[in-house]
Amino acid sequence: MAFFLLGACHQQEVKVKALKDVPGYNSTDAAYSLVDFVIPKDSICFLGGEQYGKTDRFVEIRCENGLKGLVIEDEAFEPVNN
């Protein structure tokens, strides 16, 4: 499923639902252990393009609850039909 999400992210945002509480980051310079915000389980969000830090791959995220930033664990989301 992660492959599906990654492939789709290169073209447009993909509507997804969080399967668990997911750590979020404000920049690619973030330390993996220092979380900037948490996306609550069952949140509806949109995954966008990829960004790369020194050691990690991040995916842009924008949520209906107003949270916006980057996530590492894009596999913690499942696609949602409109």
What CATH number is associated with residue 55?
2.30.30.40
State the average pLDDT over residues 38-43.
Answer: 98
pLDDT at 73: 93
pLDDT for residue 9: 43
Q: What is the number of H-type helices and E-type strands within the chain?
A: 1, 7
Distance CA 14, CA 2 (A): 12
For the entire predicted model, the pTM comes to: 0.81
For residue 25, what is the DSSP state? B
Q: Output phi, psi for 76, to 5 deg.
A: -85, 10
pLDDT class of 53 with cuts at 50, 70, 90? confident
How many domains does the chain divide into? 1
Q: Which domain range does residue 8 map to?
A: 2-79
Under the banding of pLDDT at 50, 70 and 90, the label for residue 11 is low
- What's the average model confidence in pLDDT over 67-72? 96
